[in-house]
Amino acid sequence: MSHLAPYASCPDHSRGRLHAEPSSDVRGPRDIFQRDRDRIIHSIAFRRLRHKTQVFISPDGDHFRVRLTHSLEVAQIGRTIARALGLNEDLTEALCLAHDIGHPPFGHAGEDALEEAMKPFGGFDHNAQTLRTLTLLESPYPSWPGLNLSWELLEGLAKHNGPVANPGWALAEVNHGFDLNLTDWPSLEAQVAAISDDIAYDNHDIDDGIRAGLLDMDQLLELPFVADRWEAILARYPDVRPRRLIGELTREQIGVMVNDVIESTRARIDELGIRTADDVRKAGVMIGGFSSEMAARERRLKKFMYQKLYYHPTQTAAAVEASKIVRELFGVYRNDVRLLPPEWRENLPEQDPARSRHIGDFLAGMTDRYATDRHRELCGNAA
């Protein structure tokens, strides 16, 4: 692993897995982070992302992004940055692929509805649900619950946005079983995964928003960062109709942001004297990320996207219907647990809050399509 930077996460120095596994090469010569990545890709929870909302709820068009395609795009950006910085690409990729596994159906509308429904039972958080899914609910192995992923992967998922001072019940349970040092900063690989997520959805959501007819270029050009890129592209391709150049704008913006992250992260590594992976965790600040100038541009872009796309009347109306589905399904299953599938009834706890959290787990794992079908079947009407 001599190609790794000294501050990268090295598989040979991993803190290991919660459950000891027999050493065997029968399944191929892979290190611990490569196995983590492969376990995620082969999981049912990962496959379900193909039918979970990214921006558009149950999109009718085949060309819109869903959670699965978004996660793949985040992983591509994350690998690029990790390679440039000498970080562990396999761990970065695994973090990128797994980061949205805990999202319930219907995106943030579904999450808000589930959070509200579960408020009396400790609430709901998609990030904590990702860890709960990977350490408990997805259990394909005969000898232990969960996927038995490495400490570094679980740590990165738990605090990719920084230290967690007051974990909710789901994250606290995971941390109690396998101490993730929640008050420290995460690895650089986790920090790169987090910023790659921002880069991917900032730019790809623009592409989807234009494709859906909810955004137009005149609106986007109100942003100087976008306008500068667009003018340069039009000058470079004067004979190409503008509609064909939107993909070029997306690529350019991603490239500019990626380069900014690489340069800014290198500068902070040097400035802080980061020499080891432990230095990263004890640095007291986020090292992987944008320059202050790019961060300000990105915040403005996000604000624009919320105003013009995420809270567009069409989106808001769809979110109301999605919230109704989640809210009513939660009530139906709580009122009559016999309606749960047999495998979910078998392990149903007797008392709350565990009982309602179990129902929340079932709802969180649903795809948009499955939730819509169950609602139609159990509530007697299509939402």
Mean per-residue pLDDT pooled into runs of 10, the chain (383 residues): 86 95 75 97 96 67 75 97 98 98 92 96 97 97 95 96 95 97 97 97 84 85 91 94 90 96 98 97 96 96 86 81 95 97 95 97 96 93 50
Long-range contacts of 206-213 (CB under 8 A, 24+ apart): 206/249, 206/250, 206/305, 207/246, 207/247, 207/250, 208/54, 208/55, 208/56, 208/64, 208/65, 209/55, 209/305, 209/308, 209/309, 210/246, 211/61, 211/63, 211/64, 212/56, 212/61, 212/64
What's residue 62's pLDDT? 54
The structural domains of the chain, with segments of one domain joined by +, span 30-314, 315-379
Say what the pLDDT of residue 314 is.
Answer: 80
State the alpha helices, DSSP H only, in 63-150.
67-85, 89-98, 107-117, 126-132
CATH of 30-314, one of 1.10.3210.10, 3.30.1330.10, 3.30.40.230, 1.10.3720.10: 1.10.3210.10
Q: Report the C-alpha gap between 359 and 374 in whole angstroms.
A: 14
Distance, first Cα to last Cα, the chain = 53
Q: Beta-carbon neighbour count of residue 310 at 10 Å?
A: 17
The dihedral built from the CA positions of residue 71, 77, 81 and 83, taken in this order, carries a sign that is positive
Q: How far, in Å, CA of 364 to CA of 111, rounded?
A: 8
Rounded CA-CA distance 278/147 in Å is 25
pTM over cut 0.75: yes
Q: Rounded to an integer, what is the distance from CA 175 to the centroid of its chain?
A: 19
pLDDT confidence of residue 39: 97
DSSP state of 321: H
Instruction: Check residue 382 and give its pLDDT.
Output: 47
